[in-house]
Amino acid sequence: MDINGILQQIAIWTIPVLFAITVHEVAHGWVARRLGDPTAWMMGRLTLNPVKHIDPVGTILVPLVLLLLGGFVFGWARPVPVNYRNLNDPRRDMALVAVAGPAANLVMALGWALIMKLGILIAPHSNWVGLPLVYMGQAGIAINVVLMVLNLLPVPPLDGGRVLAGLLPPRLAEALDRVEPWGLLVLVALLATGILGMMLGPPYRLVMELIHRLFGLPI
């Protein structure tokens, strides 16, 4: 890929990636506040200003490297703080706070699908307006579906792990929570062995196909 191609890809993916990870984290904090914990709000994290959420590695370095390598593009932001002791029903509410992030990614994927559809309708009349919307919409759908599917894996500290902990009996939930310090190593091992790609591939393709069919987008 030449330098112009690289810059074009960065321009297309920057806004979708920033919105995907920022709104994901804000959704966690917003639901936590609604359920009794104002920690994220008090720390100024309930904002769509991406500067408040950027993690130099997860928000910039990892997505950029993956983009250049041509693989799945995903990333992460600084997690919003949640104090489970402030929640009305800690076990149940932590699961609700956790699922809010992937749910926000699904809503954003649908929003980007609308933008892509709009771009397709505009493109025959104005390429310079329509095509950027198509490419950015396509990127927005992809990054949000990847984040949704990845975060729903039942591995702590991913959101799916927290949801599972909220559904399990307390003793099993405590055992699952003890896995959390090793969660990142587990994910790295799954990624290195190719197992993570095999796990994410089928649900990713299924959700992508459903969204494209729902909005009449080319698959």
Name the residues annotated as catalytic: 25
CA-based end-to-end distance of the chain? 24
Dihedral sign from CA coordinates of 143, 47, 58, 101: negative
What region does 82 belong to: left with phi over 0, alpha with psi -120 to 50, or beta?
Answer: beta
Q: CA nearest 159: which of 99, 219, 72, 94? A: 99
Cβ within 8 Å of residue 27, ≥6 positions away? 100, 101, 103, 104
Cβ within 8 Å of residue 39, ≥6 positions away? 29, 32, 81, 82, 83, 86
On whether the CB atoms of residues 125 and 54 are closer than 8 A, the answer is no
- At residue 206, the 3 state secondary structure works out as helix
CA pair distance 53, 26, nearest whole angstrom: 9
- At residue 169, the 3 state secondary structure works out as coil
